[in-house]
Structure 1
Amino acid sequence: MTEHRRSASRGLICLVAAVVVALTVSLPGRAATGGGPTARSRAGTAVSAMMGFYDESTGRWDADAPWWQSGNALQALLDYMVKTRSTQYMPQVLHTIELQRKPLPWWPQGDGEFRADSTDDTGWWALAMVRMYDLTHDRRYLDIAKTDEAYMRQYWDGTCGGGIWWDLPAKTYKNAISNELYLELTASLHNRIPGDRTYLSHALEEWRWFEQTGMINSAHLVNDGLATQSGSCANNGGTTWTYNQGVILGGLTELYRGTGDRKLLATAGRIAHAVITSPDLSPGGILTEPCEPAGTCNSDQSAFKGVFARNLAELDEATPAHPYRGYLLAQARSAYDHDRNGSEQYGLRWAGPFDQAGIARQESAVSLLTAVL
C-alpha cells in the first residue's frame, strides 16, 4: 500500500458551516439519515453485510484483501460497537485479535503484535487496539498499541529532518499516511495514559516535523508523501487521497484534546474545508476519491473515503457549532439512496450508482454510517 500505500477563527467556522449547509439542504430528506433509530438501523445493516465478508478461519475480512483492510474493518466495527454499546460481534473481534496478533507469515521478524513490513499497516491495527481499549477498558489492548508505537518509532530518523519510513526494510519512502497514523497513535496514547509525557512529546515532534515538510500543499490538501526516492525531501505532488486528508484530521483532533491548542483545530479546519469545497474531492457535494472518475480505484483506494468520514466526525465533535455534521449527513444520505444493493452492500461511488460489492467498499460505508450516529 502507498498510494496504496483558538485560534480557529469564527469566520472560518461560519464559512465552513455555510458551505456544508448549502451542500446538504439541496439533498431532500437528509435528516432521516442522522440521529435516532433509523440511523442506527442503517449502520447496523451495513455492519451485518460487512460481517458477510468475515472469514472465520483466518479472522480476516476477506482473506484475499490487503491485510491492513482487516485492521481498518476491525476499527470500523469497534467504532460502531463503541457508539451503540453493542457487543454482538465481540466473539469475532476477539478471534481476529487472537489470530492476527501472531507473527506475520510474510514478516516473522516483526514478532507479532501487528508489527509489519509497512509502518502504516501497523498503524491501522494499533489504532484499532486503542479503540478496543476504549470499548473494554482492558489495558492489554493499550499495551499492544504501545508496542506498536515503539516499533514504528524505530523507523524515525534524520532523513528529511525526521519522520517515519513507510517501507521496510528498504526505507525508500517517507509518506503522509505512516506519519499521520503515528501522530494519531501517539496523541491517542497520551490522552489515555494519565501523567504521560513521552507520547505527548512524540506526537508534538511528529506534528512539528510534518507541518514543515510541505506535504500540506498551498491548497491545504495533503499530498501522498516526499520525494525521498530521488534524494529530494520535497512534496512529491502525489495524489491527494481522501484518507490522507482524513487521518491528519484525527491526529490533530487527538493532539488538540491533549494540549488544548486551538491552532491545531484551525489547521484541521482548513484541511476539512479544502476537501468539502474541492470540485475534485467533493463534486456536487459528495465525497469522491480521485481515482473514481477514471474508474481506476484499486482494492486499497476503495476503502479510503470511510477513513476520511471517521476522522471528520472526530473533528466535528471537537469543533464549536459542529460545522461538518451536515456534510457527513449528506454523504450518508447519498450512499444509502444511490449506492446500495438489496443485500445492504455498498459500492464505491457514494453519489451512485452501485457498482459492485467488496470489503473495502463495505468497511468504508460502515465508517460513514457510524460517523453520523
Structure 2
Amino acid sequence: MSVMRVAGLSGLILSRALAMTVDFTQTESIKKGAGEAAWNMVRYYTGNNTGDTPGNLPDPYYWWEAGAMFGALIDYWVFTGDDSYNTITFQAMQHQVGDNDDYMPQNQTRSLGNDDQGFWLMAAMTAAENNFTNPASNQAQWLALAQAGFNEYVSRWDDADDTCGGGLRWQIYTFNNGYNYKNSIANGCFFNIAARLARYTGNTTYSDWAEKIFSWERGVNFINTDWQVLDGAGNAGTENCTQINGALFTYNAGIFLYGAAHMYNLTSSDTWKQRVTGLATSITTTFFKDGIMWEPPCEATACDTDQQAFKGHLARWMALTAKLADFTYDEFMPLLKSSGVAAAEQCSGSPTSDWKGHSGTACGFSWLKNSTWDGNYGVGEQMNAMSVIMTQLLSEAAAPYTSTTGGSSVGNANAGSNTNSDNLDPAPITTGDRIGAGILTTTIIASLLASVVLMIKE
C-alpha cells in the first residue's frame, strides 16, 4: 500500500479542485455520490473480462473482500434502486459457489478461513433477504447457500475443554496459519448467519445456535463487560483463550450488532434489546471521534489492505440495525451522516498511477482528515465511502424480507451436510494437527499482537 500512498500524494493538489460534492439534504445528490463511489470501486473488478475468473478481485485483494464487495453491491441496489451492477454480482456469486454449493470453490479452498467463506455466505443471505434475482432452479439458491455454510459451521464447532470450550477456529484447515486462533470475525460470521436464518425461516435451530454463539463469545470475554468486541485469542494448551488480543476493529463490532438486531427483531425480548443497546453504546463511543467513524487499531499509523475495507461494513450494519431495532435510530443516524459528509469530502483524489476511476473522485481512507484527501485509494476505500454515504438513504430501503413477508428464495435445511444439522459433531483433532498448526500459527499471532494497540477500556 505504501507505493499507492506515495503515488497518490503526488496528485493531492490537483484533487482539491475536483472533489466529489454531495448535498446530504437532497436524495438524488446522495444517490449520485454513492453511485460515483460504487463506479470507482467496480472499475477494479476484472472478473467479467474475457479470460478472467468471475468473482475474483486482482491482487492485492483477497477472496473475502470480493465477497464483501458483492454483498455491499446488493445493499447498494436496495438503498439506491440502481441495478447497474446486478448482472456482474449475480454472475460472480453463482460462479464462486463451488462444487458443493457452499462457497468453498476449488480455487480457494486450501487457503480460505471461516471468515473468508462467511463473507460470501453473508452476501448470499443478503440476496435472499432482499429478493435479489433468484437463480434458475438447477442452480444454487441464495437461502440454501447460507444454510449450507451454517451446517458446515456447526460441524466445525470446537468445544474441547482445552480449546476454549467452544467456538470456531479462524482457519478451517490445520495446515493454515491461524488454525490455533479463535477470533470474533469467524464466530461473528457464524452468529450473523445463524441470527439472520432464524429471522428469515423462524426455525429455532438457528436461533438456538445464535444464542449459543453469542453466549460463548461473552463467556470467553471476546465481548467484554463494556460490550466491546475484542479480536480473539490462541486456544491450545495453556493459553485456552486467556491471552486475548484486545484490538477493536469496526467490522467485529458491526457483525455482532447486526446479528443481535435480527434476534431482537425476531423475539422482541429484553435480553436481545439489552445486547443491541450495549453493543450500540460501545460502538458509538469506540469507533467515532468527534462524530466521525475511524479504525482505532491502525488508522493513526497504517492499516493494511484488509483493514482498509472494514469501516463500510459497520456503516451499513448500523443503518440496517436502525431499521430492525428502531430504538437505535436516533443514536446511529446522526453519526452516520457526519461520517458520510466527511467521507464524501475525502473523495477528492487524483492518483497518478493504478487508479481505475474518475479523476478527482478517489476516496481516501481516513475521514478524520476532512476535506484533505489522505492519499489512500482502492477497493476498500471506495466500498467504505459508498456504504456510509448511502446510509442516508435508509428510508428508501425496505427492511430485509423473511419467508413470511415476501422472501422468495428457496432453502434446503440439510444443505452442506449429509445429516441433520442438530446432530453434527466436529471432526476429531489429533495431537499432530495441534502441533503442526501451533508451529504455523506462532508467527501470525505474534505479528497480530505486536502490530495493534490494545484497546480494552480501563
Among candidates 74, 78, 87, match of residue 78 of structure 1: 74
Match of 2:38 among 38, 47, 50: 47
**TM-score, L = length of structure 2:** 0.68
Evaluate the alpha carbon distance shift between residue 321 and residue 296 of structure 1 in structure 2; reply closer, same or farther with a 3 A threshold.
Answer: closer
Equivalence map 1:117-136=2 (5 Å)? 117-133=112-128, 134-136=130-132
Using the TM superposition, give the Cα deviation of residue 259 of structure 1 relative to its aligned residue in structure 2, in angstroms.
1.7
Whose helix proportion is higher, 1 or 2?
A: 1
SS of structure 2 residue aligned to 1:33:
coil
The within-5 A match list for 1:133-172 is 133=128, 134-136=130-132, 138=134, 140-159=141-160, 160-170=164-174, 171-172=179-180
Q: Please list the CA deviations of residues 213-242 of structure 1 after superposition, one character each: whole Å capped at 9, or x if unmatched.
A: 211224331110133155322260331111
**Structure 1 pair 268–244 and aligned structure 2 pair: CA distance change class (3 A):** same
1:98 matched residue in structure 2? 94
Q: Identity of aligned pairs, percent?
A: 25
CA offset digits 1:280-310 (Å, max 9, x no partner):
x322221111244443210110011111111
Post-superposition CA distance 1:35-94 (Å, at most 9, x none): 622211111111111111111222246321111000110111000112233322122012
Give, in angstroms, the shift of residue 339 of structure 1: 4.3
1:85 to 1:167, Cα distance in 2 relative to 1, 3 A: same
Q: Deviations over 1:90-122 (max 9, x none)?
A: 220122123222369xxx994569877310111
Q: Deviations over 1:180-237 (max 9, x none)?
A: 11111011112222x4222122212212222222112243311101331553222603
Give the AA of the match of 1:53: Y
Query: Which residue of the partner structure matches residue 205 of structure 2?
Result: 198
After superposition, the C-alpha distances for 1:124-154 in whole angstroms (9 at most, x for unaligned) are 1001001112232738111111111112222
Counterpart in the other structure of 2:247? 239
SS state at 2:206 partner: helix
SS of alignment partner, residue 33 of structure 2: helix
- CA displacement at 1:321 relative to structure 2: 6.3
Of the candidates 303, 306, 310, which is equivalent to residue 312 of structure 2? 306
Q: Which amino acid aligns with 1:308?
A: L
- 1:349 deviates by 0.4
Match of 2:366 in 1: 349
Determine the structure 2 residue equivalent to 1:260. Answer: 268
Tell me which moved more, 45-54 or 115-124. 115-124
Question: Match for 2:227: what amino acid?
Answer: H
Partner of 2:16: none
Instruction: Find the counterpart in structure 2 of residue 283 from structure 1.
Output: 289
Distance 2:94 2:223 in 1: 38
RMSD over equivalenced CA pairs, Å: 2.7
Contact map agreement 1:223 1:239 (CA 8 A) in 2: yes
Secondary structure in 2 aligned to 1:289?
Answer: coil
Is the counterpart of residue 362 in structure 1 residue 379 in structure 2? no
Aligned to 1:248: 256
282-291 vs 148-157, which moves further: 282-291
Q: TM-score, normalised by structure 1?
A: 0.83
**Higher Rg:** 2
8 Å Cα contact 1:292-1:349 kept in structure 2: no
Q: Does 1:36 align with 2:36?
A: no
Confirm or deny: 8 A CA contact 1:181 1:251 kept in the other structure. no
Deviates more, 1:177-186 or 1:137-146: 137-146
Aligned to 2:339: 331
Shift of 1:165: 1.5
Is the 8 Å Cα contact of residues 61 and 70 (structure 1) preserved in structure 2? yes
Q: Which SS does the other structure have where 1:131 is aligned? A: helix
- Asked if structure 1 preserves the Cα contact closer than 8 Å seen for 2:56 and 2:66, the reply is yes
Which stretch has the larger CA shift, 249-258 or 233-242? 233-242
Amino acid at match of 2:181: Y
Q: Secondary structure at the match of 1:129?
A: helix
